[in-house]
Structure 1
């Protein structure tokens, strides 16, 4: 397998396939996967490109000469460096000089690149990295993990409370075809004990023998609604699975009281349930559409549906393009418009596999399973609730696509009335934007293009004025040109000029001196900007702008570097500008051969 030889990560399903079909290849794949994780951990301690090369070099030296692992390690190193180079090139191509925090976090999350390593390697290419943005992306990832953890925690009651119950106390779900049923309250529990009664305002968990409330499972959020008795109303805010085949209805008494042994009417919130069904059925269509557009390598890695939205995680090694997302969304809406019948069949697992029904890898299934089909387009093993026809979904809109882990992408989407509300909000915002621009919604694009043209012209004028001001601030400095071991050096400072302005000045002064080295420093907004430039003739004699900058940047409390012909640095100590300018002559003298 080319993927294995190149050191790429295999999905769980691919590994499981190899385990059964080719144990020898599986063993090799397991070694490659372990190697990837080991290298990732080692990279987290690297702070320079040299240290990265050392990590991979040591790994190569530890395997035998003809060991296929050697090829995988080399390929893994190439992938890491290509990805960094790709991000670097795209950053520079877009006119930016800073790698975004999102990209820096991607390098860390995928390959183990610590932010310090990204900063150091970026500096060597005269580019910075957004450390604050990296920390923000890190926090967002942690928050996602916390939200997922909190979600599980909210749906958990103290299972130990129910261990003493008789094994005959179980619950049967009767909600596939009905939202209401008559039952009886068998068990009531508060947060820490079993009780016989709950009164108004008290929270608790209720267990009944027959319920139409779907319990959270397989990514589908549990139903909410009401349990009504002769003496009170219990508002169900969530429904969860409990050990021993029981279903727990979590909520509080909103009027009167409820008691164990009372007859109870189970009433699921119809609107909320219908919206959840729309989102769940749309997720089945989404997975089938993704496989059609992106290929069979797409496999479900997790999902979540409630009455507001659907979230679908799937295996895929790169970001889905806008064009691909648009095609996926189009296919789903076409299947909704086709009003496909949604059917359910109960069969054995083996029979289900023969029909081609998709199963969630790693999921444990009983002897019999439910197979949910949507026309001939989608067929999955699923225990959740669904619409009767795909037309009931009404509409589908993808809101976001993002990466949540290495090789795992996430799509978030809405259906039904939420799509209508989404576009209504867009219309409102477009009308507000049009009003601000003094045009109509249809004329917004033209108006913005006109404004962008004006801004570009004004920016050009501003840069021209800044360049003129910088020249005037610098004055005539040609009398400051020195000769260092046969190489001309112009090292001076100018006030209140940014890095772009210094580069322009440097280019002009380089032309004036003909051949040699130019070093400029400026204080702006309490910070120091430094640049160094060397002509071809000066470089032939040993001058190196990058090393020169490294040699003087510390004097202004900063660091930097760059190419032999041009380099820049920033600093925090303006008081050191004079010393840095003086030191430039010494550093250059040490370079000249």
Structure 2
């Protein structure tokens, strides 16, 4: 059973039992306690906690997940992965243990075909109820049920043995796992407690009953007993495809093959090189998922996770003999293989193809350039350690490799381990602590890729930047430093694009969603146009400028002028964002917390967690409320206080934002109080009009609203009025009656479409009868192979089914069509008696799909395929014809 079929079998099983199907949520969770989506339940956490009401008390989903807590094992074993797919079914206060146990067993045996005599179960050590239910609801005997507890000295937060949590504050509970005996060739018998390799865990049932804090302490019971289950797609593929490990499944064999082709190394010839092939395949797959979901490489957080994966892949590419420092590419060709392999599973990868390849390619070029020099430094350090008969790789060198060459510490640790050494992590962490604050901000490079060390030097010379922009838009200052991609500059002249560091400035540096200021810097010898203002490292900001006239040097006195009109328009948008935020939570609920924003002159973007589209009525209420609040001209005040005092005062801290111990609190009227370092209008009425222009989904359970403010809102509203007037003119009716008139026209159009569809169906029926009459015979089996251009999508499927229905004997039907955009579509349909004889549709279609540059999918008697090379359709049909006739002969 291929992976797509495994997924569909699972989801359909639970849909038939009343569950609502969900697609995968992004890997960036709407949960400040989690770095990445690590389990299928993460998007549903508010439902388990009772913070939100689900649209359906039962759910089923497929969810891509990333966990890197044991990244060093990926590649070294044949089952550890950093990314995997969890197939889940969930009950939010509906059914509980009995149904979860009964259905998991039924799915395993009756739908996946697992041998019931080889299924073993583990339960939490004190869970007598689950043991009894396994005995009542399934055929599993007591001797194949094993109890597992929390290891001695571990907290429930740390434990993975049959008491489950996300590893952070939130829902938790005991669990029960299904394991499959892979046979004596996998080692000692005795169940999963004896041998986890032989008795492979494939399905985990978590009985969500309690809530824990961030330290793993159980706080009490959840509002309702719930169920969270997860079946590992990759592990089930191992079992159902009867292969030894995940890298031999259909999810990874194309990736291993791509790595073989790039490197010239054959998988299976050498154990160490096999490790590298697995690392490359697995890490590039995970990286593609992360980038497609908006994660970008950086020095901290989820961006650091991505960077570790990419750089570990590059390093193992180098171990495979690829001359990466010399320009040979690894990541981009591998990403092509990832995208092709996972296109049907994750269509969003295709939409983000350019972003994924661009980001990964840039990271590879950057790291490959450092790799050779960094490895030379490693070799020198290893020689020094061996010369001194030492057993520890020095933390100072580890820090140097991290800071200068960009080596993730895990990569250095892995190299040290290969040499038989232990990394001095204590010394490394001490050195990291000394620069952590500056390094976090420094992870954001300048527009020209300025090394962070240059900013550190500027900070030493100039000191922290003093921001004057809350009170004034002009100031006098001194050019502290000029910075270019190569480092500090002694001067710059007309046409140069550089960065300017100032000791004091009225320019606001981008932060908290608000864009950086523009404006002008003038010295006695030159004029600089400020095109952006950004944070450089902790406490230091940089002004990105173009020298418009003359020249400029460090140390010159400067007159600083912020673009006032742009700043005021931005401030309007920022205050409007706060007003919108407060109103959203009132209308939609407290869960509609800001999860991202962009504040620009005259416009704003607001992201928030929500579980369904915001209705037109709700949008109308939000818009009316925010404008009514603006018209009442609420006071806008700012205060600086400690973080604890701000929280005590009820100030809202936004997800994803970071705050120091001293914070700025912006209060608007009686309805909004937020921690915010941005700029705002002096009074509410200054915001002007606020016009909501778009509401849309940006991912599972995450929505986005875009709005215009001030003059931009007026211009948009005026344009909308003009459009309405033009529509009224075109349908020859007054504006007040235009909607009714358009609705009437649409009804007429719908009726016409209905008649056309009826005619189309009649035509397809005639074509089906003709094609069936023209069928040839192969060993008494009817074979129909035909090209039917113009019949695509559902019509192609319908036509194939009708042709099959007209066949009087066993038969196989393969139809192909070219689309208007030059692609190809194919469908294969078998009569049920032929399918019962062992012939399958997908193997017939798969070689033809490859001819047109695609793949095939489907169930036993029906398969479909598509490819981008429509010009090869005739050849594909010839291949399908040969495959069909061969299959018929084999089946017969």
Range into which the TM-score falls when normalised by the shorter chain:
0.5 to 0.7
Could you tell me whether the CA contact under 8 Å between 1:532 and 1:546 is conserved in 2?
no
- Cα distance, 1:36 vs. partner? 7.1
- 1:545 and 1:567 in contact (8 A); partners too: no
**Cα distance, 1:357 vs. partner?**
0.6
- Structure-2 residue corresponding to 1:304: 598
For residue 878 of structure 2, the aligned residue among 569, 575, 588 is 575
The whole-number CA distance in structure 2 between the counterparts of 1:59 and 1:141 is 41
Offset at 1:273?
A: 0.2
Would the aligned equivalents of 1:544 and 1:563 in 2 still touch at CA under 8 Å? no
2:788 equivalent to 1:496: yes
- Structure 2, unpaired ranges of 5+: 1-24, 36-48, 50-62, 69-79, 88-106, 125-145, 149-161, 165-174, 178-203, 207-227, 234-287, 295-337, 363-441, 819-823, 867-872
C-alpha distance in structure 1 between counterparts of 2:663 and 2:229, whole Å: 45
In 1: Cα distance, 2:539 partner to 2:599 partner: 23
* Contact 1:184-1:208 at 8 Å conserved across structures: yes
2:708 corresponding residue in structure 1: 414
How far does the alpha carbon of each residue in 1:423-463 deviate from its partner, in whole angstroms, 9 at most, with x for none? 45555666777888888873444434433432332232233
Offset, 1:371: 1.1
Q: Is the 8 A contact 2:482 2:554 kept in 1?
A: no
Alignment partner, residue 3 of structure 1: none
TM-score w.r.t. length of structure 1: 0.67
| Counterpart check, 1:65 vs 2:95 | no
Q: Secondary structure at the match of 2:509?
A: coil
Q: Which residue in 1 is equivalent to 2:84?
A: 43
Determine helix, strand or coil for the equivalent of 2:545: strand
Pair 1:180-2:180 in alignment = no
CA 1:545–1:269: 2 relative to 1, 3 Å: farther
**1:183-202 pair list within 5 angstroms:** 183-191=476-484, 192=486, 198-202=492-496
Q: Is the 8 A contact 1:546 1:568 kept in 2?
A: no
Determine if contact 2:651/2:673 at 8 Å carries over to the other structure. yes
In the TM superposition, residue 346 of structure 1 has moved relative to its aligned partner by: 2.3
Per mean C-alpha deviation after superposition, the further-off stretch among 570-579 and 339-348 is: 570-579
2:813 corresponds, among 520, 524, 530, to 520
Q: Measured at CA, do residues 310 and 143 of structure 1 come closer, stay the same or move farther in structure 2, by a change above 3 Å?
A: farther
**CA spacing shift, 1:40–1:331, aligned 2, 3 Å:** farther
Once the two structures are superposed, the pairs formed by residues 84-483 of structure 1 within 5 Å of their partners are 129=344, 134-139=349-354, 153-154=446-447, 160-161=453-454, 163=457, 169-181=463-475, 183-191=476-484, 192=486, 198-230=492-524, 232-242=526-536, 245-258=539-552, 263-307=557-601, 309-314=603-608, 316=609, 318=611, 320-323=613-616, 327-360=621-654, 365-393=659-687, 394-403=689-698, 410-426=704-720, 442=738, 443-472=741-770, 474-475=772-773
Following TM superposition, by how much is the alpha carbon of 1:527 offset from its aligned partner in structure 2, in angstroms?
Answer: 6.5
Say which of 819, 830, 841 aligns to 1:549: 841
Contact 1:216 1:222 in 2 (8 A): yes
Unpaired runs of 5+ residues, structure 1, are 1-7, 17-28, 82-103, 120-128, 484-488
DSSP-derived class of the 2:67 partner = helix
Contact persistence 1:399–1:414 (CA under 8 A)? no
How many Å separate the matches in 2 of 1:141 and 1:401? 23
Structure 2 Cα separation of the partners of residues 432 and 521 of structure 1: 50
Structure 2 Cα separation of the partners of residues 34 and 462 of structure 1: 40
Which digits, 9 at most, give the CA deviation of each residue in 1:127-186, with x for residues without a partner? xx498764124545777999xx998643975554462676675543222132223x1324
Which structure has greater helix proportion?
Answer: 1
C-alpha distance in 2, partners of 1:418/1:203?
Answer: 30
- In structure 2, do the counterparts of structure 1 residues 524 and 176 end up closer, same or farther at CA, with 3 Å as the change threshold? closer
Corresponding residue pairs, total: 508
How far apart, in 2, do the equivalents of 1:561 and 1:229 lie? Answer: 67
Instruction: Report the CA distance shift for 1:481/1:434 in structure 2 as closer, same or farther (over 3 A).
Output: farther
The 2-side partners of 1:40 and 1:334 are apart by: 53
Where does residue 303 of structure 2 map in the other structure?
none
Aligned to 1:87: none
Tell me the distance in 2 between the aligned counterparts of 1:59 and 1:105.
Answer: 33
Moved more, 344-353 or 266-275: 344-353
